[in-house]
Amino acid sequence: MRKLYRILDVNLNRAREGLRVAEDIARFTAGDADLAAALKALRHRLAEIEKSIPGGPARLLAARDVGTDSGAATGEEAPGRGTYATAAANLKRAQEACRVLEETAKAFSPATAAAAKALRFAVYDLEQKLLARLREIARRERLADARLYLVAGTRDVPGRDLAAVVRAAAAGGATVFQLREKEGATRDIVRLAAELREVTRRCGILFIVNDRVDIAAAVDADGVHLGQDDLPVHAARRVLGWDRIIGVSTHSLAQARRAEEEGADYIGVGPVYPTRTKPDYPVVGLELVRQVASEVRIPFFAIGGIKDTNVRDVLAAGARRVAVVSALTAAPDIAGAARALCESIQEFEVTPT
């Protein structure tokens, strides 16, 4: 019987430790009070399971024998791992411990075994929620320094090589490039996207594909940008997974709020000014920029007719990120034009007006 109690004691400790690590990650890294509270509640449920074992904590403690535990040797430390991997490993540790508790408790208490099983499934649920939250944070961190976003396709650069345009924009400070190729055979678009994926990777900037979730997945793009009539965010997420960035075009405050609620990583807001790329969309003006800046928490890029002559007005309205097409693609000096836009943005970040 003592051996059985040693098994119970070891796995209660494993589950408790794993849940505590996950709880602290939820609290301090994810900043999610609800998740942290839910994980804390699981530790309390584990304590109730411990009390339900005949003899309770005192008998479990008496059965402990660290000196003869072959698993107590630390050996060589594993290489350091990131927060996500740490959370995942500790939640798996808690799940496995709960399963051992469940199977061991069947020998003396079906009720305790059932409680351990229910706890295991609760850990599965919170594992999904915490790891999804950590992935969301990682995606937002990739966007943290994104300020100038180039949107273009081959039709936007007549007489120019699109890859060369992207390289020049990146040299001037653009940190995101979106391929918007509306026409042509899918095979040809995939070929172009694969080339630009490599260009952006070498330049160290994010690569986003417009509309086409399938192409984004095929070329390992950093993400996809969706219109109002495209796949919903949750459907795109199922295809692309949790690591890919998903942006959404919005033309009203209601659309911006909905995109945030549905899990978009960022939104485009516009068209702020008349633009040939969106001739059928009414201009939303600076008022929508002001509203989104004050009411939406996820990153947003003002877009539509923005250029060096009006970018300061857009920034004064509350934008800190802008997306452009012709302001760069039509510029004689693409890198210089990008640099000038970046300088304007930086000035507003340092001395906002």
Catalytic residues: 180, 249, 278
| 8 A C-beta contact, residue 25 and residue 83 | yes
E-assigned strands of the chain?
148-152, 176-179, 206-210, 223-226, 245-250, 266-269, 300-303, 322-324
| 8 A C-beta contact, residue 153 and residue 182 | yes
**Rounded to 5 degrees, what angle do the CA atoms 294, 300, 302 make?**
95
| 8 A C-beta contact, residue 330 and residue 165 | no
Torsion on CA atoms 155, 158, 160, 165, rounded to nearest 10: -50
The DSSP result for 151-218, as a single string, is: EE-GGGSTTS-HHHHHHHHHHHT--EEEE---SS-HHHHHHHHHHHHHHHHHHT-EEEEES-HHHHHH
Q: 1: which 2 tokens?
A: 């019987």
Alpha-carbon distance of 120 to 99, in angstroms, equals 7
Q: Say which residue the tokens 């180039």 belong to.
A: 150
Query: Cis omega (within 30 of 0) on the bond before 271?
Result: yes
Q: Which residues does 38 contact at the CB level (< 8 Å), separation at least 6?
A: 126, 129
Closest CA to 91 of 139, 24, 31, 9: 24
| 8 A C-beta contact, residue 265 and residue 243 | no
Alpha-carbon distance of 316 to 10, in angstroms, equals 60
Q: Which amino acid is at 30?
A: A
Alpha-carbon distance of 13 to 190, in angstroms, equals 52
Alpha-carbon distance of 200 to 240, in angstroms, equals 19
